[in-house]
Structure 1
Amino acid sequence: MTTVAIDTGVGPLLRSWREQRRISQLELALRADSSARHISFIETGRSRPSEEMILRLAEHLDVPVRERNALLLVGGYAPRYAQTAFDDPALDALREGMDRLLQAYEPYPALVVDGTYDVVAANRGMAMLLDPVAEHLLVPPLNAMRLTLHPEGLAPRIRNLREWRADLLSQMERQIGLARSAQLRELYEEVAGYPVEEVAGYPVPESTGSTGSVPAPSLPFALPLLIEHGGEVLSFVCSIATFNTPMDVTVAELAIETFLPADRATADHLRSLTS
């Protein structure tokens, strides 16, 4: 799905990306082995960029693969990158590889999301954390942001909800700035509007350290997710991995999120559940 207006010239669109990245015409020219004069002519429509130039400028402006197709289309060229459905047989090897990766990470939670945070794969560790969650939130496609922040999702069990929510919303804002997705903006407005002060009768702590008898672990290197499960407060740090130099829109927008136990008690609790 293209997220730019087709009747907008490729020059103004490239200028918009350059300004968003806060790069001068001269700096972009140096990066792309061109001249500031030529960049200026492209942006004002006085010069029609070649397909190669559009792709070169898009690469140096860190334009997402989906938007590179849109730039090519507006510039009068065919899209360069395919957009293969995730369940297409062409991606069998990719799905199998991710499934093995998710299973190998068990009993720790891990999942794969697409560009709008819909869950396309998850392991049993993640399923464990989702119990209990309201049934209507588990109807496919599951959305990771909605599952986490909805009052009937994980939010009532997240002990440092205020901090974790702020971090997730900040992540979404960065993604919106990068992808310019109307669908992502709509999701952001939805989840940002969920109540925070009190969720399901459970008062949200003022800070990560305000968790009653369960203090937050000292983790200066990453914000922990503190979540209640089975009478225990589990502590995780999250890492996100994407594919290097993707040549397909679908693959470019996939992200593998893993939750690493931040303390021995959390690791022991998860292993006890699987044993």
Structure 2
Amino acid sequence: MDFPTALRERRRGRNVSQLQLAIRAGTTQRHLSFLESGRSAPGRTLVVRLAESLELPLRERNELLASAGYAPVYPETPLAQLPGVRTALRHVLAGHEPYPAVVVDRCGTLVDANRALALLTDGVDPALLTPPVNVYRLALHPRGMAPRIRNFGQWAHHVVDRARQELAARPSDALAALVEELAGYAPARETGADHVGFAVPLQLDDLHLTTTVTTFATALDVTVAELKLEAFLPADEKTATRLRVSR
């Protein structure tokens, strides 16, 4: 994809006008119009400013730079080569115990987890726990956690919808295939008087859990920026006691 098309699609996809983007990036609407029509070529610094102004994920910023003929600005370092990051993640995961917590990449592949995750994966087919483990598949697969999830319909659509949002924000063939697979596990969507929208708790056996998702918004490395820390918290005292006792 050439730069004019790439810039125009990203701007329109975020419902930002040429004038709005020009003001944010410190240029003029006329110049931006010339960039989107191919009548002007951008400098590297301007491409970075445009990407920042559109709040593009780091991977997309690199893609926009590449479409303009520039080398990537943001590195994509294998996590194994980032010992400081891995150590920090392990501290956070350990600090969340006795409650379960996981770190995943943008496709839901398990990067790390604390010991409390074992309580959620009890009885799961060992094949689903063989690396690389995908936590979305683990949750919805019939031989995964699915048989133990009492509100499986709601939880399944919650997981599928989150994966679809990720796909819309960061398209990839691998994630598209995963979304299609996950959608096949979910039952027909039903909404009624008890429908709670996106605020879906996980009811696993007698455990009632809520979740929080943390991202590393200030990261300047693609790998780190795409990590998510998902932490499970007890929704009632009975669940809290059960988790503390099982520690």
| Cα contact 2:212–2:232 (8 A) shared by 1 | yes
Distance 1:47 1:206 in 2: 51
**Among residues 70, 78, 92, which one is paired with 1:85 in the alignment?**
78
Task: Report the secondary structure of 2:185's partner residue.
Answer: coil
- Which 5+ residue runs of structure 1 have no aligned equivalent? 1-7, 198-203, 211-218
Deviations 1:166-215 (A, max 9, x none): 22222112111111222111111111112536xxxxxx9987969xxxxx
2:221 to 221, 240, 248: 248
Whether 1:108 and 2:99 are equivalent positions in the alignment is yes
Q: For 1:24 and 1:206, how far apart are their aligned partners in 2?
A: 36
For 2:55 and 2:216, the matched residues in 1 are separated by 15
What TM-score does the superposition give when structure 2 sets the normalisation length? Answer: 0.94
Letter matched to residue 44 of structure 2 = E
**1:226 corresponds to which of 176, 180, 203:** 203
SS at match of 1:83: coil
Q: Secondary structure at the match of 2:119?
A: helix
Aligned to 2:233, which of 260, 267, 274? Answer: 260
Q: 2:154 corresponds to which residue?
A: 163
Counterpart of 1:98 in 2: which secondary structure? helix
Helix, strand or coil for the counterpart of 2:246?
Answer: helix
Is contact 1:163-1:208 (8 Å) kept?
Answer: no
Aligned partners of 2:158 and 2:198 also within 8 Å: no
Report the Cα distance in structure 1 between the residues aligned to 2:119 and 2:2, rounded to whole angstroms: 49
Q: Does 1:269 align with 2:246?
A: no
1:196 aligns with 2:209: no
Q: Report how many aligned residue pairs link the two structures.
A: 247
In structure 2, the residue corresponding to 1:236 is in which secondary structure?
strand
Q: Secondary structure at the match of 1:12?
A: helix
Matched, 1:16 2:22: no
C-alpha distance in 2, partners of 1:24/1:114? Answer: 32
Q: Greater shift after overlay, 257-266 or 56-65?
A: 56-65
Instruction: Pick closer, same or farther for the CA change 1:237–1:195 going to 2, 3 Å.
Output: closer
* Runs of 4+ in structure 1 over 4 Å off: 204-210
Name which of structure 1's ranges 158-167 and 114-123 shifts more when overlaid on structure 2.
Answer: 158-167
Matching of residues 88-237 of structure 1 within 5 Å = 88=81, 91-194=82-185, 196=187, 222-228=199-205, 233-237=206-210
Structure 2: any 5+ residue segments left out of the alignment? none
The equivalent residue for 1:216 is none
TM-score, L = length of structure 1: 0.84
CA contact (8 A) 2:102 2:230 kept: yes
Letter in 1 for 2:219: P
Secondary structure of the residue aligned to 1:49 is: coil
Percent sequence identity over matched residues? 44
1:45-64 pair list within 5 angstroms = 45-64=38-57
1:253 CA drift (Å): 0.4
Give the helix-richer structure, 1 or 2: 2
SS in 1 for 2:210: strand
Partners of 2:88 and 2:192 lie apart in 1 by 39
Matched residues in 1 for 2:122 and 2:198: separation?
Answer: 29
Which SS does the other structure have where 1:87 is aligned?
helix
After superposition, the Cα gap between the structure-2 partners of 1:220 and 1:149, relative to the gap in structure 1 and judged at 3 Å, is closer
Contact map agreement 1:42 1:48 (CA 8 A) in 2: yes
1:86-112, CA deviations, whole angstroms, 9 ceiling, x for partnerless residues?
Answer: 111xx1111111111111111100000
CA RMSD of the aligned region, Å? 2.2
Contact 1:9 1:45 in 2 (8 A): no
Alpha-carbon deviation of 1:241? Answer: 0.6
Could you say what secondary structure the match of 1:124 adopts?
Answer: coil
